[in-house]
Chain A
């Protein structure tokens, strides 16, 4: 059941996946200054775009390296742990500032988020529903909590973003948490209904 929990058609051609990855990557790099010029755009648009590019790369590599990745990713635990830690890390204000002030930290941010997306693709295929629920629930709670902190913090948390931008980013993170949780619930319900219809 777990492997089918997401409503994404996992059989779509890998060349389509590469096109999606290239498109998302191109969007991020061509709009880098615009995306990173605002805290909300940085966290709520750029982060998911990098995850999407990574997931598409994960799909493209699945046929060739799927077995090797799955070997070290029992029940999707490694992918979920890596993605959870990576996302939490880039929500630390000092880390977000460092990614803007130091180009090597920025490179680390791009690589870690793309790798998270690729591992998430493999993890959602391997994880039972309970593990998926734990990860999605943990992500939603963490993101919403950070979003609320960003909204209520009286002081400027990131030197590169004003407090009004910080508050807007907080609202965006709460919305992102709700959207992620709802999307997962709908996809699970859809998979259940489909499996019922097949039976």
Chain B
């Protein structure tokens, strides 16, 4: 007579323990994927994660619009240079043009304050198939880029580009119209390659104010 209730009790206990385990595991998984509930989208989480755990961008070889090859960070440049970096492609009719206009304004602001001497602007193209030095020059000319303050460049190899995108969390997808959609933002990168902050692309003043303090 006592067997059935005992089995039923054990069965309910098993159900209860399983439920607690599932809820606990799910809470941990959600906590982890949302970076402690700081965001629900990858881009929100990327921007929240960077100040807390700054990723280090590896040594990067770039080809600038004047054809010169250079390494913006991770080398032995010395000093305390700070890079404000955007990712773009020159054929982009929308976001990258806006980024170009915002950088043009920043360049003007940089020229007016000696505290900004260590700050440089860097536009990196993720479309090496189309963005040769001629296309980069045209983009630089269109936005009146002064090479002393603003460099427009493309990674020297496809593998360097893929590595940079992976390290910085940049995702580029086809837009269905022959162009690309990508996460656009202003990235603050230090001389040692540390990516320390990410600002919204339409808030360049905040990026400059922050870079000025470094």
In the complex, A62 has a CB within 8 A of chain B: no
Assembly CA distance A156 to B172 (angstroms): 12
Q: Let me know if A81 and B40 touch, CB within 8 A.
A: no
Q: Let me know if A93 and B41 touch, CB within 8 A.
A: yes
What are the residues of chain A within 8 A of B14 when measuring CB–CB? 71-72, 74
Residues from 1 to 43 in B contacting A, C-beta threshold 8 Å: 10-12, 14-15, 17-19, 22-23, 26, 29-30, 33-34, 39-43
A157-165, A174-182, A186-194 - the one binding chain B: A157-165
- Convert B163-188 into 0s and 1s, putting 1 for each residue whose CB lies closer than 8 angstroms to a CB of A: 00000000101011000010100000
Q: Let me know if B183 and A159 touch, CB within 8 A.
A: yes
**Shortest CB distance A180–B (Å):** 21
Q: Let me know if B34 and A92 touch, CB within 8 A.
A: yes
What are the residues of chain A within 8 A of B12 when measuring CB–CB? 74
A8-16, A18-26, A94-102 - the one binding chain B: A94-102
What range describes how many residues of B lie at the interface? 20 to 34
Q: Let me know if A74 and B11 touch, CB within 8 A.
A: yes
Majority DSSP secondary structure for residues of A touching B: helix
In the complex, A73 has a CB within 8 A of chain B: yes
What are the residues of chain B within 8 A of A93 when measuring CB–CB? 40-42
Residues from 6 to 47 in A contacting B, C-beta threshold 8 Å: none
In the complex, B45 has a CB within 8 A of chain A: yes
- Convert A56-96 into 0s and 1s, putting 1 for each residue whose CB lies closer than 8 angstroms to a CB of B: 00000000000000011111011001100100010011110
* Residue positions of A touching B, CB distance < 8 A: 71-75, 77-78, 81-82, 85, 89, 92-95, 97-98, 101, 155-162, 164
5 pairs from A and B in contact (CB 8 Å cutoff): A74-B12, A78-B22, A94-B40, A94-B45, A155-B41
Given contacts A95-B33, A162-B176, 6 further A-B contacts (CB under 8 A): A85-B22, A85-B26, A89-B26, A89-B30, A93-B40, A94-B42
